[in-house]
Amino acid sequence: MSQSSSLVAGRTKARLTFSGPGITGGSLPDGNYRITALSSKIRSTAGSISLDGNEDGTAGGDFLNGESAADNFFRLFGDSNGDGIMNPFETNRFRSALNSSTDPLCVAQFDFDGNGSVMIPDSEPFRQRIGITRRF
């Protein structure tokens, strides 16, 4: 796994890219997942300062705002609005994105093989998921 981060509207946005068996295009296989941010692993951009996960004024703590710094999420290729349902809305968006490499949002959602464009080879994995529902 590799990670990168950027500052967006005053907040840090992290991007995780996965590699290894079962990984296609840098993304996890369809499924339900849980990610936990451990204070012992999170550092400032300077790299030397531990962050205050539980906001008690001391570096450390694996909690944010009194809750675990964990997030449950799912991955369902082609689910462009994140509702966990592959329906006609996604089919229309996929058709609009087909043969495209200019809209980064569409490419990220519909580029199954991770080659930077939405082409015919991406359509079969998309079709296989029509009608699937996946929610955590």
Check residue 62 and give its pLDDT.
Answer: 58
Q: Confirm whether 112 is domain-assigned.
A: yes
Q: Confirm whether 43 is domain-assigned.
A: no
Q: Confirm whether 57 is domain-assigned.
A: no
Q: Confirm whether 63 is domain-assigned.
A: no
Check residue 65 and give its pLDDT.
Answer: 46
Q: How many CB atoms lie within 10 A of CB 22?
A: 8
Q: Confirm whether 109 is domain-assigned.
A: yes
User: Which residues constitute the domain of residue 83?
Assistant: 77-136
* Torsional class of 22: left (φ above 0), alpha (ψ -120 to 50), beta (otherwise): left
CB 25 within 8 A of CB 110: no
Whole-angstrom Cα distance, residue 52 to residue 110? 37
Q: pLDDT truncated to tens, each residue of the chain (136 aa)?
A: 777 777 778 777 777 788 888 887 778 888 888 877 666 666 555 555 566 666 677 766 655 444 556 678 888 999 988 888 998 889 988 998 888 777 776 677 888 988 888 999 999 999 999 988 876 5
Q: Confirm whether 127 is domain-assigned.
A: yes
Q: Confirm whether 136 is domain-assigned.
A: yes
Whole-angstrom Cα distance, residue 36 to residue 46? 22
SS3 per residue for the chain: CEEEEEEECCEEEEEEECCCCCCECCECCCEEEEEECCCCCCECCCCCCECECCCCCCCECCEECCEECEEEEEECCCCCCCCCECCHHHHHHHHHHCCECCCHHHHHHHCCCCCCCECHHHHHHHHHCCCCECCC
Query: How is residue 88 written in tokens?
Result: 């006609």
Q: Confirm whether 104 is domain-assigned.
A: yes
CATH label of the domain that carries residue 105: 1.10.1330.10
Query: How is residue 28 written in tokens?
Result: 């996890």
Q: How many domains does the chain have?
A: 1
Query: How is residue 110 written in tokens?
Result: 């519909």
